[in-house]
Amino acid sequence: MGDEPVARSRAAFTREAPGPADARSGWVETSLGPVRVEWRGDTLTRVDLALEPGDAMAAGRPFAPRAIADRLAAAVDGGDSEPGPVDLTLLTPFQQDVLRAVAAIPRGEVRPYGWVAAMAGRPRAARAVGRAVAANPVPLVIPCHRVTRSSGEIGAYSGGGPGIKARILRHEGVDIEALAQLVRRGARFVGDPTAGTFCWPTCHQLGLVPPTRRILLPNWTSALQAGLKPCARCRPLPPDRGAD
């Protein structure tokens, strides 16, 4: 199970960028604000979040060509899609596997570091996953903002801090306040007794479940004791496989 998201997204990361002489940089205006990008050929090598109006013009940098701008627009406003060619060759194989797993997290959902570790084939390496996520050279394109602490708190964000992270998640439809309330109530999972399943709190499958039918679950054991099975879509994991 842990290799499936990585294998599914591996084709998006197979291209090494051309040489340094072909490196270019520019700005892209997105619905979140301006984003600085670097690329070689059609391969993205770096994304830096400015996200404040006027930053691009003040920097005096040229704007990126339409093909690059369209990829950033798709990352910010599009649905779930492959990120296209990005250059991760400066990262370790483990870091690359982590980012491939992160790329599989659906838009509008979040997953804890432990889940990403399990999907990358290293279920006991949640802390190392945090460092790998922080090394992501192309935020937004590879959505490291969708990775949270094991408690459910949204946590830090190397792309600009927790405020920027919350802003991006809200833009994608995540109810940050509802997540915070679940954290305060100690709920790790949300169950649907009618369907007999339980999910990560942001799983889109829960959108079909009336709030009155949902039950809050503090841990994996309580979900099993309630007679529930893990959702096949969002794949919650037991403590030794990424729930913690």
Q: Which of 214, 240, 244 is nearest to 231 (CA)?
A: 214
The DSSP symbol for 146 reads G
Query: What number of residues does the chain have?
Result: 244
Closest among 230, 194, 228, 229 to 209, alpha carbons compared = 194
Question: What distance in Å separates the CA atoms of residue 56 and residue 227, rounded to the nearest whole number?
Answer: 54
Cα(66)–Cα(222) distance, rounded to whole angstroms?
A: 51
**Is 32 within 8 Å of 72 (Cβ atoms)?**
no
Name 137's Cβ contacts closer than 8 Å, sequence gap at least 6: 45, 46, 47, 86, 87, 88, 90, 91
Q: Rounded to an integer, what distance in angstroms lies between the CA atom of residue 234 and that of residue 111?
A: 9
By annotation, the residues acting in catalysis are 144
Alpha-carbon distance 114 to 27, whole Å?
Answer: 34
